[in-house]
Chain A
């Protein structure tokens, strides 16, 4: 077996159209996933502005290629951890739109029965270990999932999504370093969307690339164009295969761009409208991938439009499901704090999740 020597700095994944052996069907699935993220979130934004949905909501629009490319490289049983900007990761990992929308609306039928909302949406059944309200907190958690796989000697892989802001948190160092020391089956995907909350990434990052930090952990670092879903897939596939083979973690930095504000309602004083318009015009991952699919002869423009129409119908059905779903009953307030007997002796009724099991 060849010994992998980490490079002195991160390498840049090749651009250009490379379908990485993906079938037409797989490529169309990726397109549909990206579109489901886009249309779901566009609708979430409208609903929020109409006050039909509330809370802290962070949109992923513009970054769809990252979650989609990385999750396409995964198998059932693999897990992901996510961030406060987690809808895209959920959808790419296979969660359904209707219970997602219900969760964002705080309804009983949501994935978390309305107890989590946008920032904590999760589905362990799908290997989705949760969006997270705390920056970088998913890094130690996904390291732990990888540790669990390593201890029991199984073949699953944990993929951790985090932002450029998270790369400056102590958890980034602690989690990645620990994973690297044991060569745990983990892949760390930094979504560098150019802004940490309300300031540009350069303000926090004294070096050019987050991926260059891989050198400090003796693991490969890869920079990839985060608006190119095929490039993300290629980098993720290599990293996931490597992790599964017991060769340890990889740090991938996907350079992407957040088309929307930090949160819904962000007045965005830290960047110009022109900058955002320019990004939307030049680096929209959906436009780019749609063009590639046509260029490859995988789909016609009509076919892509038909997919869009189907996705819009699905999103509308999700909105309807969410709006028609009941509010959580008061009995849910005191359920599911503990597994088994409640230390405060609250004789709580069995929760829906337990009844479902």
Chain B
């Protein structure tokens, strides 16, 4: 089993799915010479009709993916940065996500809207914003956020085989830093199944993508103080595996959610609302969030770093709960 990066794992998923099903094709800006390597080599293998370079026209990319799905294709559309999806919101939200329902059920729309988010590369505010909670708010959409290389491959294959519009959020730091042994065989990772990254009995920390690493770092530090944290990676926001999270909270009686997205109306709010609904009687302390402090992501490395939740902040949040 080869050790591969997150980005190479995604590339494996695309290649395998394009080999498996000729309806699968990729479209996006400059995907022939993929900046982060996710689509690298696909043009050479599958040609210009399966790896379609588009103009810098995000509304056209969003709509073209939808239109091609409506006539039986299985498009994988790339938006170079998640912030660019804002130029395609009508096509993604008002058209793709609503079409099946509005049409009375007849539309089957297997669309993957791939993109990348994540702070930490000094891309500044217009190229850095995790909008996954926006899309999670929209009925008809599924939202996926893989953390590990293994999950990246397995979840992308599941997304491509899913018959609904899926927003697939990759992380630009994890592209290179997340690496592990990934089978070069066909496997999938199901939607709606959280992964318990570390077991513990004193507090549940729910983290997304890079914040899983931050949570694990915090857990190591907390362990030294005798506090055993359980770290859960939901992997998919829609569907959300609330059962695994709520069961964990029933055991630990405390929960902290960590994400790079802004705190206000971020995904942590949804997780906490559902924890309160499903495990209210088990809570011994108010649920807490550690997130971007509601600021646009600054350019300066120093300031950007301060905008991203740190292991120290997570430790402090947990210590405030575990009195």
Check A147 against B68 for contact (C-beta < 8 Å): yes
Check A178 against B100 for contact (C-beta < 8 Å): no
Check B63 against A139 for contact (C-beta < 8 Å): yes
**Given A141-B95, A144-B63, residue A130 in contact with residue B103 (CB < 8 A):** yes
CB-CB under 8 A from B192, the residues of chain A are 341, 343
Candidates B54, B69, B104; contact of A336 at CB < 8 Å: B104
**Given A125-B106, A181-B55, A337-B139, residue A144 in contact with residue B100 (CB < 8 A):** no
Candidates A116, A137, A151; contact of B102 at CB < 8 Å: A116
CB-CB under 8 A from A181, the residues of chain B are 55
Check A137 against B63 for contact (C-beta < 8 Å): yes
Asked if B79 CB lies within 8 Å of chain A CBs, one says no
Check A116 against B104 for contact (C-beta < 8 Å): yes
Asked if A165 CB lies within 8 Å of chain B CBs, one says no
Asked if A84 CB lies within 8 Å of chain B CBs, one says no
Candidates B54, B55, B101; contact of A337 at CB < 8 Å: B101
> For the complex, what is the distance from the CA of A152 to the CA of B192, rounded to whole Å?
32
In the complex, which residue of chain B has the Cβ closest to the Cβ of A146?
A: B67
Check A124 against B66 for contact (C-beta < 8 Å): no
CB-CB under 8 A from B69, the residues of chain A are 144, 148
User: Min CB distance, B194 to chain A, in Å?
Assistant: 14
User: Min CB distance, A243 to chain B, in Å?
Assistant: 14
Check A124 against B103 for contact (C-beta < 8 Å): yes
Stretch of B36-44, B70-78, B197-205 contacting A (4+ beta carbons < 8 Å): B70-78
> For the complex, what is the distance from the CA of A143 to the CA of B25, rounded to whole Å?
15
> For the complex, what is the distance from the CA of A227 to the CA of B229, rounded to whole Å?
73
Asked if A142 CB lies within 8 Å of chain B CBs, one says yes
> For the complex, what is the distance from the CA of A309 to the CA of B310, rounded to whole Å?
76
Q: Which of A303-357 contact B (CB under 8 A)?
A: 335-341, 343-345, 351-354
Check A140 against B67 for contact (C-beta < 8 Å): yes
User: Min CB distance, B120 to chain A, in Å?
Assistant: 29
User: Min CB distance, B247 to chain A, in Å?
Assistant: 16
Asked if A177 CB lies within 8 Å of chain B CBs, one says yes
**Given A140-B62, A149-B71, A339-B163, residue A134 in contact with residue B94 (CB < 8 A):** yes
In the complex, which residue of chain B has the Cβ closest to the Cβ of A141?
A: B67
Candidates B50, B60, B65, B103; contact of A120 at CB < 8 Å: B103
Q: When each residue 92-135 of chain A gets 1 if its CB lies under 8 Å from chain B and 0 otherwise, what string results?
A: 00000000000000000011111110001011110001101110
In the complex, which residue of chain B has the Cβ closest to the Cβ of A342?
A: B239
CB-CB under 8 A from B67, the residues of chain A are 81, 129, 140-148, 158
> For the complex, what is the distance from the CA of A69 to the CA of B192, rounded to whole Å?
49
Check B64 against A143 for contact (C-beta < 8 Å): yes
CB-CB under 8 A from B60, the residues of chain A are 140, 143, 171, 174-175, 177-178
User: Min CB distance, B268 to chain A, in Å?
Assistant: 18
> For the complex, what is the distance from the CA of A123 to the CA of B107, rounded to whole Å?
9
> For the complex, what is the distance from the CA of A148 to the CA of B70, rounded to whole Å?
9
CB-CB under 8 A from A16, the residues of chain B are none
CB-CB under 8 A from A351, the residues of chain B are 104-105
CB-CB under 8 A from B59, the residues of chain A are 140, 170-171, 174-175
What total of chain B residues lie within 8 Å of the partner, measured CB to CB? 52
CB-CB under 8 A from B52, the residues of chain A are 147, 151, 182
In the complex, which residue of chain A has the Cβ closest to the Cβ of B73?
A: A148
Asked if B249 CB lies within 8 Å of chain A CBs, one says no
> For the complex, what is the distance from the CA of A145 to the CA of B73, rounded to whole Å?
9
Asked if A153 CB lies within 8 Å of chain B CBs, one says yes
Candidates B55, B109, B139; contact of A174 at CB < 8 Å: B55
> For the complex, what is the distance from the CA of A338 to the CA of B49, rounded to whole Å?
29
> For the complex, what is the distance from the CA of A173 to the CA of B87, rounded to whole Å?
14
Count of inter-chain pairs, beta carbons less than 8 A: 176
User: Min CB distance, B118 to chain A, in Å?
Assistant: 24
Q: Which of B71-118 contact A (CB under 8 A)?
A: 71-73, 75, 90-91, 94-95, 99-109
Check B100 against A337 for contact (C-beta < 8 Å): yes
Check B95 against A353 for contact (C-beta < 8 Å): no
Q: When each residue 257-289 of chain A gets 1 if its CB lies under 8 Å from chain B and 0 otherwise, what string results?
A: 000000000000000000000000000000000
> For the complex, what is the distance from the CA of A142 to the CA of B103, rounded to whole Å?
16
CB-CB under 8 A from B62, the residues of chain A are 140
In the complex, which residue of chain B has the Cβ closest to the Cβ of A108?
A: B104
**Given A112-B104, A120-B102, residue A148 in contact with residue B66 (CB < 8 A):** no
Candidates B68, B103, B108, B139; contact of A148 at CB < 8 Å: B68
Asked if A150 CB lies within 8 Å of chain B CBs, one says yes
> For the complex, what is the distance from the CA of A137 to the CA of B89, rounded to whole Å?
11
Check B106 against A340 for contact (C-beta < 8 Å): no
Q: Which of A163-196 contact B (CB under 8 A)?
A: 170-171, 173-175, 177-178, 181-182
Check A340 against B73 for contact (C-beta < 8 Å): no
> For the complex, what is the distance from the CA of A338 to the CA of B216, rounded to whole Å?
34
Asked if B142 CB lies within 8 Å of chain A CBs, one says yes
CB-CB under 8 A from A228, the residues of chain B are none
> For the complex, what is the distance from the CA of A140 to the CA of B115, rounded to whole Å?
19
In the complex, which residue of chain B has the Cβ closest to the Cβ of A335?
A: B105
**Given A152-B73, A158-B67, residue A130 in contact with residue B99 (CB < 8 A):** yes
- Residues on B close to A: CB < 8 A? 22-23, 25, 27, 49-50, 52, 54-55, 57-60, 62-73, 75, 90-91, 94-95, 99-109, 139-140, 142, 162-164, 191-192, 238-240
12 pairs, A vs B, C-beta closer than 8 Å = A112-B102, A137-B90, A140-B64, A141-B63, A142-B67, A147-B64, A147-B67, A153-B49, A175-B64, A178-B64, A338-B140, A353-B106
Beyond A130-B102, A137-B91, 13 additional pairs, beta carbon < 8 A: A112-B104, A116-B104, A130-B103, A140-B66, A141-B70, A143-B60, A144-B66, A151-B68, A158-B67, A171-B90, A337-B140, A338-B164, A340-B164
